[in-house]
Structure 1
Amino acid sequence: MDSVDLNVLRSVLDWRRAGHRVVLYSVVQTWGSAPRPPGAMLALRGDGVVIGSVSGGCIEDDLIARLQDGRLAADGPPVQLVTYGVTRDEAARFGLPCGGTLRLTEERVDRWDWVAELLARCEAHEIVARELDLATGAVNLSVASKTDVVSFDGERLRAIYGPRWRLLLIGAGQLSRYVAEMARLMDFEVLICDPREEFVYGWEEQHGRFVPGMPDEAVLNIQTDERTAIVCLTHDPRLDDMALLTALNSTAFYIGALGSRVNSQKRRENLAALGLSAEAIARLHGPIGLHIGSHTPSEIALSLLAEIVAIKNGVAPVQKKPLPVAAE
């Protein structure tokens, strides 16, 4: 359920609308240590242009060669299975670890209405399952949940697609600009809320979308969900705490606020005095970021995004600051 796959499908839609022939490859099974997990996608245009990845690069080269040397027939079956790495020699040739095997569906995209529908539903923040019938090439879309995973039974591939991960920044200061740029490179949808007009200048060149209103209204208006992170960076409790009162009762997977350890503790006490439950306050990350000795805005942004990505990927963040050495 990687949003990178949505970029592949966007290209598929654009290419088909422009009249190009397109073949879509999806990883359906792996054995041993494989470069990409099931569900990873690559689209191959009729002139050899590719987007996406199913391996470290060697398999991509062979897929292009299949097109150029005629192994990929324009009038062949709508879906075929392609396997790499069965033998030790082939595994070495395609850069797979010893014993690694990769199986792909090779799917001719004749109709593309399902691509447009899938993308529209993901933009509406739905999680969608795509079922591909290997015998007929028919595609069926249905509602999925965040716990669903890619499955393949030899006859049908069921892949899961979800909306892009989102990052809502409260505050449009200098640090937010670094965070927004790094988050964009990791394919987060970046949203910014700052009612202070003085901080808006220059953001038109950034890849982010402003959410109007006060911070608490922004948290509600974007319909915060499990794929949303919220970070308060104004250093002004009148704005940050307003957002936190709403965010900490939401389903956002990460909620953080800029501040030192002392200020973070004071913030927790203020939130408790304002009636927020201890359970909700415990969700707050503060100080934000992993401990990397950061001092500059770009370093703080890096430590923050590292923490957000770790939690997004289900990895427990490491100790943020070294523990003091006990006296002997």
Structure 2
Amino acid sequence: MTDSTTTRYRFDHVGFITEDMDHSLAAYRALGVEVMERNYRRGTHDLAFAGAGTDVLLEFQAPPLLPESEDYITKHGWSIERIALVCDDAHRAYAELTAAGIASAWEPEEFAVDGVPLAIAAGVWSPEGLMIDIVQHLNVHVPRPERRARGDLALHHACCLVPDLAKAEDFWTTNFGLRKTYDFTSPLVDGGTKGFVMLGDPSFDEGSHEFTLEIIGGEFDTIDGPVFERRGACFDHICFTTSDVDGTWQRAVEAGVEPLSAPTYYAEYNSTIAWLYDADGTHIELMTPIPEGLMADAFATGSCSNHWVDDWQRSAVVLPRSGGLPVKVHR
């Protein structure tokens, strides 16, 4: 696949819209995520950044919201709204993307506080209708966590569910220069592809920037399937890696975070995986770190080992969400 862009993109943050900022942050704190910064002005904005183990952040926005976010809620509810990529020139990037036929969400506009321009942001839509934020930083510096030991909690990927896996992969690699770091796919009997891939940006690095976009399509399991049936194409979950999946999951549950599926070992991945609901019901995945070097080698060589097995479909026992907000909040 040839990259058709001249702009160099780097994953910057995963954007959530949340109904209750305090409860959202409390749920992620219970996991061990650090809140890096919060900016609140009554009646104007409520914005927070959090992270763990990588320079890619989680961005949380609570009401009042932008018009495009209000529109998003009507379809998807409170959830992951967007993936943001940073670049050197948002105007040029937007022009390139729209010239390539990608639909505009909004034109480049300046974001300022107290008259100080902090960033320029533009928005585009993926073919499935997923929001992509193009950001150029100006006079802003949000602290970002650093990775320490590989087994420590680290944000690893955000996931989107799509009807056509191959089409979605082509869109992201062609227009944003992403490269495959993991491939767990197989042909569908009637054509197309099922499974998932993970894509890293040109700055992918296992030390400080081991973050990927996971794309799942073709077939879905008991975790992702109900979400796709209800919402269609969407950003459905984020994932953290940790060498202590069982302990991290148990401590979060004891702190009031709602469990989605208990820790289970999957031989096909050689990984323990567990799931939680965040305060708005978005799925949080916990998994054992991918072996060091595996994704970096795939990124460098362009060759991914395919470890597909016919029974890869997980049939995890799913616990229904109560819809309450039990996590403890310290205001």
TM-score range, shorter chain: under 0.3
**In proportion to residue count, which structure has more strand?**
2
| TM superposition score normalised by structure 2 | 0.26
Larger Rg: 1
Higher relative contact order (CA 8 A, sep 6+): 2
**In proportion to residue count, which structure has more helix?**
1
